[in-house]
Structure 1
Amino acid sequence: MAIKKTELYSSLWASCDELRGGMDASQYKDYVLTMLFMKYVSDKYKGDPYGMITIPTGASFDDMVALKNHKAIGDEINKIIAALAEENKLKGVIDVADFNDEDKLGKDKEKVDRLTKLVGIFQGLDLSDNRAEGDDLLGDAYEYLMRHFATESGKSKGQFYTPSEVSQILAKVVGIEHDTPQDATVYDPTCGSGSLLLKASNEAPRGLSIYGQEMDNATSALGRMNMILHNNITAKIVQGNTLSSPEWKDAPNKLKTFDFAVANPPFSNKNWTSGLDPKSDLYKRFAWGVPPEKNGDYTFLLHIITSLKSTGKGAVILPHGVLFRGNAEANIRQNLIQQGYIKGIIGLPANLFYGTGIPACIIVIDKEHAQKSALSDDGKMKGRSIFMIDASKGFIKDGNKNRLRSQDIHKVVDVFNKGLEVERFSRLISIEEIAKNDYNLNIPRYIDSSEPEDLHDLSAHLQGGIPNRDIDALENFWQVFPNIRATLFTENKGQAAREGYSHALIEASKVKNTILAHPEFKDFASRSLLPFKAWVHDAALSDIALGDKPKELIQRISEQLLSRYTHSELLSKYDIYQILMDYWADTLQDDVYVLTQDGWQAGNTVRELVVAKGEKLKETPDFTINKQKYKAELIPPNLIIARYFASEQAAINQLQAQQDAATQALDNYLEEHTSSGSGSTEEGLLADALNDKDKITKASVAARLKLTTNADEITALKQVTKLFNADAACKKAVKGATEKLDLKVLNHYPTLSLDDVKSLIVQDKWLATLQANIIAEIERVTQQMANRVKELEERYSAPLPTLTQSVDDLSGKVADHLKAMGLEWTV
């Protein structure tokens, strides 16, 4: 049975628990990722004479398993890793972590137990047959761990990983096309663990030739392992200081040039001149100016521009300060703009990155289309421009960080690659306009992304009525619901009529229900589901077959859904897209991975959950029969019950209602007779039946009956005994009926036909969930209108004369009350 992604992830993360305590995340990541690597290459290449990795005798993961509980387990694991590293020229890559380090892993038995458990966790994973063609299950798991390690590593140690969502944007805007050849090169001078390079390579149909350099030795080792786990064994990742000792050169004083470059350099590096004299730089990287000595942001940008071919393209993440800081950086910025190298700028939300909370931007470089002659004869730059996007508002909170959603990524990429100008989001800025701003590229100078101010109408507050301009501002809704507007508002008429103002026809509290009940809304809701129903036909989810590529599937069906909702009324196609992508991450992805590796017959599968002694159950069982726990692989039991055993479930529901009533009766009786009432110190008839834990149980009642001679107490004890018995009988009936139904459901799985399985999974599970979420989105959009209408009605419901009269009336009542109490005064 194929491993589901989420199950693999949870198992890997559990391995981290075995190491926590002696070290922080920036340290224990090396142990966990090394163990993952050893398990993967052993499962994949053991016994394969033609494998890309050679597994020498005595150097496989099986040999680690044989060391469990061995007193020298740490030292022996080091030897196994060293042998594999030696055989495959991976010294300094997979042998960085010391598995015999007592300071980190503990001494003697503590270390033996910790490493034994760690090996045991990976031992339970079969990684040999769990790679759907074209999908990097292990590579994705590696990235999952990197994200979690970065999250936990703290402010100063999380910079080895660029958030996947940001990496995706860089990869998609850098200029890689569907026909980019495999021998095209991509370069990252500060590659960290390699996530940016991999994302860029994945944009080409057959990948790219990867080059990277990383200063930190341990991080560069992670990068090499990451490449192998992503099946990019030929990728060239080296360790070293890119600025002072660049690895990739065509000649001693000439940098190698690449087709593409992506990078997330360390922000505001204060030591960039270490080992480097920029004024005598061999590679002439500072022809456009020398960055400040204590701030190296532009250093990496200049290095990348120099490292690109004349037709090269790049995308670099830098702090927002590079867009507007003055002095030396202003001169560099002006020179680069005049050279025409900057194609676009994308402003990102704050607090996205590990290690810093400051906002950043993506600078997109295009040397191919840079104007050869930067200035015309009159010294002006005509017809040239820079495309800007302010994407700072699109994100969700994720713990203590912000995170881009799938829809945020897609919108940025769509808008940038198509050059779409969107109000308060994107603009094509002429160089003339930029020059007038002294080459300051600060995005707010060119794009106002702030929400329009909600101005109060003082005349309406004084004289009543709702300003028509506020109602007209909802025009996008009124185009869809013209009659709902007439239902909610009417122009002021009569003697008090005032031009430009209306009044409400519906109480504020009834606005939402009025809208939802209106025929126009119902018609809109029905129309809004038509694109979804058309997409169901497009997606053809029932046609998923063995060997299909899950990532290609979600790419296809998500784009189809986007296309179907492109021209929908009121609904944002990106919000609908997000519904699918969230469900993919939560459920659909796991299901598809199983189907592409095991086929639809996996829908008939129910696994018996077996737990080793002393271990905890890692999965939540779907049902339990005779104390044995079971997990359905793809079809939850509730779907089987709803389709085939609805009457049995209805009977259980009735029994459950009876149980609830019996439990409530028991609780009420106990509460009534344990004490004489709320706040009372008197004891009730059942007070003496409390056990040593201050609880009344059937046993404590029976024990008290044997001791008491009080007639009233005996009556109360006998009554509560009856209630205990009735409650127990109801619980027994529910449990018995539930177990019988569970057995029927368990026995029904093998009888499901292929058509039954497909219908249950596709129709009852996937599509039903997606449709329900889209319906919720339809209501959410109309809720926005309802909330605004309610807000306007409440804002102007009581004009000043009404408030004044109300105050006078209340003041009079207070004065009358005071007078009646003999308290009267004059002002």
Structure 2
Amino acid sequence: MSTTNKAASDIVGKLWDLCSVLRDDGVTYHQYVTELTYLLFLKMAQETGSEEQLPEGYRWGDLLAQSAPSRLHDYRTLLVHLGLYGSPLVGQIFANASSFIKKPTTLSTLITAIDKLDWYSVHREDLGDLYEGLLEKNANEKKSGAGQYFTPRVLIDSMVAVMRPQLDDTIQDPAAGTGGFLIAANHWLRTHNDVDGLTEAQQRRYRHKTFFGMEHVQDTHRLALMNLMLHGIDSAQDGGGIRYGDTLSPEGQALPKASLILTNPPFGTKKGGGLPTRDDFTFPTSNKQFAFLQHIYRGLKRGGRAAVVLPDNVLFEANTGAQIRRDLMDKCNLHTILRLPTGIFYAQGVKTNVLFFTRGETDKGNTKETWVYDLRANMPQFGKRTPLTRAHFAEFEAFFGDEPTGAELSHRKKRKVKDPATSRFRVFTREQVAERGDSLDIAWLKDESEGSAEALPEPALLASEALEELDAAMDELRELLAALGEEVEDEKA
């Protein structure tokens, strides 16, 4: 954890080691992090002097004072009580909370160990990084299964750096997860501005009206709320922060228009092959990425900008996919596509990209040209042996420049590229993209590693990619039959 001090890093290691106590009680890694969130919230409220948001009798000291045999019963009562009678933030974190712990001795072991940790060695401002380090541990643990939802922090930091958040931005992540993008944006703002020197009104706006998001998995939502709270973002007042809900339902329509959207939407199709339930999408589709993409570019204010992680299929799928790409390039200036290395998302062979675009002042003809930066060809196989680092994005960030709307890129054609065939970045006009059937899946570099036995994908990866393509084709057929008024049995449901 590069962002935490040694004391905070040591506590993360000790907290993670406690997971073995719960594993013996049949608790999974993901359940452990959720369980730990409840206990850490109580302990950190004590450490930071913010226990007034907790009802008397339902605080860390009260839990610690209970006799060991009755503590598990009292703890379960506490979880229910806080979900009903805590402050707005407490009520959301403990909403429908229940304990996965079965043995009273397991809970007592956890509480005693947490209470004995050297909390005095950790500065208040480091508690957020401590908690985020715990979430990253969970994502990196293969058995937890959380890594498939965890965007690498170095990628998030690079996306935030080129988007350059401003204090007057309204920042949104419609697929918030544990809040990584919003927290990175908050860190950027605090690093590049004197946030503490703002007026009281500006402080209030910053804390309550800057960061917005939505997460539809309740356990993940409570992790996000805890994460934001520990990073000083008030997430439960005035409708700000990360809301619990489905962005692809009418709940998503209630998110405020944003001047900056940073996100990594979930991959795949909507469960059961159904369509989003909101009524403001021009192109109904069960493909989650295309549905989220419509939400994003429609949810931008005029002149607003976005950086979005999306899989390759969004760049080349025909029919509805092509219509959505055309609509995106009409309404927005799709100025940059960053082709990401493979293997940077745990347990996924999905090839991914970051799309950077700016909403136009009108709804037609905004994309004149698109720069493609290939960070995929001739790159190492990333993993534990070769970790992805911020240094891998340095050349891209220098190429992108300091103007977050992509305005500078239109002048880069004047640069003399020694050999376009070997350069990692090239520009393609809107006409050239149209000649390709509006496919944005563009590559020109010869990957020198191709053809070697070591570079061949795993059989399971090839099978997974084939299934994804078949699923996409089946969804297209279902939509066609539905349009013709035919009912289709959904075997996936």
Where on the TM-score scale, by shorter chain, does this alignment land: which range?
0.7 to 0.9
Aligned with 1:5 (options 5, 8, 19): 8
In the alignment, structure 1 residue 71 sits paired with structure 2 residue 56 = no
Aligned length: 408
Do 1:96 and 1:221's aligned partners in 2 also have CA atoms closer than 8 Å?
A: no
Note the alpha carbon deviations across 1:709-741, whole angstroms, 9 max, x for none: xxxxxxxxxxxxxxxxxxxxxxxxxxxxxxxxx
CA distance in structure 2 between the partners assigned to 1:19 and 1:216 by the alignment: 22
With over 3 angstroms needed to count, the CA separation of the structure-2 counterparts of 1:12 and 1:248, relative to structure 1, is farther
The Cα shift of 1:145 comes to 1.6
Corresponding residue SS for 1:246: helix
* Alignment of 1:416 onto 2:400: yes
Determine if contact 2:213/2:242 at 8 Å carries over to the other structure.
Answer: yes
Distance of 1:46 and 1:129 partners within structure 2:
19
The equivalent position to 1:116 in structure 2, one of 108, 130, 144, is 108
What is the match of residue 38 of structure 2? 34
2:222 paired residue number: 221
Compute the displacement of 1:198 (Å).
1.3
Offset from partner CA, 1:516-541 (integer Å, 9 cap, x none): xxxxxxxxxxxxxxxxxxxxxxxxxx
Give the distance between the partners of 2:221 and 2:449, measured in 1 at CA: 47
How far off is 1:244 after superposition? 1.6
Q: Give 1:351 deviation, angstroms.
A: 2.1
What one-letter code is carried by the residue in structure 2 that aligns with 1:74?
L
Cα deviation, 1:765-815, whole Å, max 9, x if unaligned, reads xxxxxxxxxxxxxxxxxxxxxxxxxxxxxxxxxxxxxxxxxxxxxxxxxxx
1:123 Cα deviation (Å)?
0.7
In the alignment, structure 1 residue 387 sits paired with structure 2 residue 371: yes
Q: 2:292 aligns with which of 284, 288, 300?
A: 300
Output the amino acid matched with 1:73: R
Tell me how far apart the structure 1 counterparts of residues 442 and 132 of structure 2 sit (CA, whole Å): 32
Q: What is the RMSD computed on CA atoms of the aligned residues?
A: 3.1
Deviation at 1:271, TM superposition (A): 3.2
Number of the residue aligned with 1:43: 47
User: Which position in structure 1 is the counterpart of 2:135?
Assistant: 146
Counterparts in 2 of 1:63-212, with a 5 A limit?
63-67=62-66, 70-85=68-83, 86-89=85-88, 90-94=90-94, 96-99=96-99, 104-106=100-102, 111-127=103-119, 130-131=122-123, 136-152=125-141, 154=143, 157-176=146-165, 180-181=166-167, 183-204=168-189, 205=193, 206=195, 209-212=210-213
Letter matched to residue 147 of structure 1: E
One-letter amino acid matched to 1:245: P
Matches within 5 A, 1:383-462: 384-392=368-376, 393-394=378-379, 397-399=382-384, 403-417=387-401, 419=409, 423-444=422-443, 447-448=444-445, 450-451=447-448
What's 2:251 paired with?
Answer: 246
Residues 346-379 of structure 1 deviation map (CA, whole Å, 9 limit, x = unaligned)? 11112222452312111112114x776518xxxx
Aligned to 1:331: 323
Structure-2 change in CA distance of 1:449 and 1:5 (3 Å)? farther
Q: What's the secondary structure of 1:350's corresponding residue?
A: coil
Closer, same or farther: CA 224–258 of 1 in aligned 2, 3 Å: same
* Contact kept? 1:15, 1:32, Cα under 8 Å: no
SS at match of 2:372: strand
Q: Determine the C-alpha separation between the residues in 1 that align with 2:62 and 2:395.
A: 49
Measured after TM superposition, the shift of residue 39 of structure 1 is 1.4
Q: List alignment gaps of at least 5 residues for structure 2.
A: 196-205, 403-408, 451-493
Which amino acid counterpart does residue 203 of structure 1 have in structure 2? Answer: W
Q: Is the contact made by 2:46 and 2:60 (CA closer than 8 Å) also made in structure 1? A: yes
Distance change (3 Å), C-alpha of 1:449 and 1:8: farther
- Per the normalisation by structure 1, the TM-score is 0.46
Query: Distance between the aligned counterparts of 1:129 and 1:79, measured in 2?
Result: 32
Match of 2:268, SS? coil
Paired AA for residue 373 in structure 2: I
Question: 142-151 vs 83-92, which deviates more?
Answer: 83-92
1:603 is matched with none
Return the match for 1:16 from 14, 19, 33. 19
Q: Tell me, yes or no, if the aligned pair for 2:325 and 2:438 is still in contact at 8 Å.
A: yes
Contact residue 30 and residue 144 of structure 2 kept, 8 A? no
Q: Secondary structure at the match of 1:310?
A: strand
8 A Cα contact 1:243 1:272, kept in partner: no
How far off its partner does 1:416 sit?
2.2
Question: Aligned equivalents of 2:380 and 2:157: distance in 1?
Answer: 15
Deviation at 1:32, TM superposition (A): 1.7
TM-score (norm 2): 0.74
Alpha-carbon distance between aligned partners in 1 of 2:322 and 2:252, rounded to the nearest angstrom: 30
Deviation digits for residues 76-102 of structure 1, max 9, x if unmatched?
A: 123344555523222241355423xxx
Counterpart CA distance in 1 for 2:382 and 2:117 is 33
Shift of 1:449: 5.4
Q: Distance in 2 between matches of 1:308 and 1:340?
A: 10
Whole-Å separation in 1 of the counterparts to 2:96 and 2:6: 29
Q: Which has the higher contact order (CA 8 A, sep 6+)?
A: 2
The equivalent residue for 2:365 is: 374
Which amino acid is the alignment partner of residue 374 of structure 1? Answer: G
State the Cα distance separating 1:5 from its structure 2 match: 2.8
- Match of 1:312? 304
Conserved 8 A contact 1:261-1:315: yes
TM-superposition CA deviations, 1:203-255 (whole Å, max 9, x none): 22346711111111111111111111111124422111111232553xxxxx6
Instruction: Give the distance between the partners of 1:330 and 1:434, measured in 2 at CA.
Output: 11
User: In the alignment, is the contact (CA less than 8 A) between 2:68 and 2:105 conserved in 1?
Assistant: no
Q: Distance in 1 between matches of 2:370 and 2:179?
A: 29
| Distance of 2:92 and 2:159 partners within structure 1 | 29
Whether contact under 8 Å (1:318, 1:363) holds in the other structure is: yes
Identity %: 25
Aligned equivalents of 1:232, 1:316: Cα separation in 2: 22
3-state SS of paired residue (2:357): strand
* Cα separation, 1, equivalents of 2:267 and 2:445: 26
Shift of 1:155: 8.4
- Contact 2:179 2:228 (8 Å CA) reproduced: yes
Partner of 2:234: 233
Take 1:158 and 1:245, find their aligned partners in 2: how far apart are those partners? Answer: 29
Distance in 1 (CA, whole Å) between partners of 2:397 and 2:215 is 28
Deviations 1:416-444, CA, capped at 9 Å, x for gaps: 23657775322232223222322221131
Could you report, residue by residue, the CA deviation over 1:444-486 in whole angstroms, capped at 9, with x for unpaired residues?
1xx4153499xxxxxxxxxxxxxxxxxxxxxxxxxxxxxxxxx
The question of whether the paired residues in 1 share the 8 Å contact of 2:342 and 2:382 is answered with no
Structure 1 residue 267, shift from structure 2 partner = 0.5
Q: 1:307 to 1:371 in 2, by over 3 A?
A: closer
* Cα distance in 2, alignment partners of residues 60 and 144 from structure 1: 25
Contact 2:250 2:277 in 1 (8 A): no
Inter-partner Cα distance in structure 1 for 2:86 and 2:97: 18
Q: Distance in 2 between matches of 1:12 and 1:410?
A: 34
Taking the aligned partners of 1:261 and 1:450, their CA distance within structure 2 comes to 32
SS in 1 for 2:18: helix
What displacement does 1:154 show? 4.7
